[in-house]
Structures are given as structure tokens and as C-alpha cells.
Amino acid sequence: MNMNAVLKVKGLTKRVVSPEGELTLLNNVALDIKVAESVAIIGASGAGKSTLLGLLAGLDVPTSGQVWLDGVDLFALDEDGRARLRAEKVGFVFQSFQLLSNLTALENVMLPLELTGRTDAADVALQVLERVGLESRQGHYPKQLSGGEQQRVAIARAFAPRPKILFADEPTGNLDVKTGGTIIDLLFELNAEQGTTLMLVTHDSHLADRCLRQLELEEGCLRGDT
């Protein structure tokens, strides 16, 4: 295994049974992602982008194949083991933000820190909120924030525990072009500051162009790696 690879994938296949018969969502995907790399997974709808992202983050299990995340064989772990690994090494940004509606902006950012038992959760979270320019909205609930602000809180939440790798699923999908641009800038700034590996699924060609590497999926197969 390449010692610089934070993520290594071998023979990753996912099949599901549907009313129309067996469906192959992902077929024998193999790839290496290096530390601090920024990678865009692109492709048409239904190409298997989100399936790949879910498997890489250990949110789902494959039909066959292996994924090593920071040297750990993901699927040799049970679900709780993968959860522990995510807590230590992984950050997420979602298309629909996925902020907890009953928590304020600050508390949402504190949550991953609290889950790892950090006692300085509030201080760290506040610093990151300041970094994304939302310190004045720290006491607001998600429904009191605009879409762009919610995504900034989500980014703060993802970067607060300083993850090794950050997965983003269509991070600008729900935002207008201008707000989306600001969010992309923020993602790449933090990626550079923290040396985090960035792995994102997107339809947005501007966003994909800013990544060092682009992986193109077509009908579950990896067609291009540029």
C-alpha cells in the first residue's frame, strides 16, 4: 500500500436487489487517494457517486471489495468500529446540510467534539465558527439561518475536530451560484489550512475544476482519473 495514501480502495462492488432484478451500483472500483489531495467524484445522476462516497466513509457495506482508511481496513470493523474511526478521522458536509434542528449553530459545531469527549468543545467550536464568519449567529437555530449560513455551520462542524479526510456530498447543490462560490472557497481554504484530504461528489463543473484530481464514474465503473 502506498504509504502516502489516506484512502485505498480495491475491487469495490455494490449490488442491490430491486424489483427489476439485481442492480449493480458500483463495479470493481479501485483507487488510491493521497494525503491532502482534493478529489472530485463526477458523473451523471445514477452513476454511483453517492454510493461510492457512502462506502468510502463506511456509512454502508459493499457486496465485495475493501477500503483502507488511514491504513485501517474499514470493513474488517463492525458498524460501531467504523463509527469510532469516523469520529477520529472523518468529517462530512452534506447537500441538505444535516444540521440538528434542536441545536443552535454553536451546539451543532460542538457535537462531534462532544462525541469524542473533548472538554474544550465550546471554545474550539466558537473558534471555527469565527473562522467561517458566523460567530454572531452562534445562538441561532438552523431554521433561523439562510441556506448558505447553514452550509457554513456544517463546514465548521466538519472541520472542528480537524479530520484527516473530509467527504462532501454535493455541498453546493442546494445553494445559488454566488453562495455556492463562497462555500467552495471556504472548503478549499480550510482544506489548505488543515492539510485535510478533500473528497467531494459534485455535478458542479466549477467545483470539480478546482480539485487536483477528478474521478469520473459511469454506470458504477471508474471511467476516468485525471
**Site of interaction with other proteins (CB under 8 A):** 50, 53-54, 57, 59-60, 79-80, 83-88, 90, 92, 94, 98, 100-103, 107, 111-112, 114-119, 121, 141, 143, 147, 157, 169
Nearer Cβ to other proteins, position 53 or 187? Answer: 53
**DSSP 3-state of 67:** strand
55 within 8 A of 67, measured Cβ to Cβ: yes
Closest approach, Cβ 204 to other proteins, in A, equals: 17
Select from 20, 36, 77, 31 the least CA-distant residue to 53: 31
Q: Taking the complex as a whole, how short is the minimal distance between the CB of residue 226 and other proteins, in angstroms?
A: 25
- Give least dist CB 218 to other proteins, A: 20
Residues 6 or more apart from 92 whose CB is under 8 A from it?
57, 98, 158, 166, 167, 168, 169
What is the H or E stretch that residue 125 is in? helix 121-131
Complex with other proteins: residue 90 or 134, whichever CB lies closer: 90
Q: Least distance to other proteins from the beta carbon of 201, Å?
A: 9
**Beta-strand (E) ranges in 89-212?**
90-93, 165-169, 197-201
CB nearer to other proteins: give 75 or 94.
94
In this complex, which beta carbon is closest to other proteins, that of residue 32 or of residue 88? 88
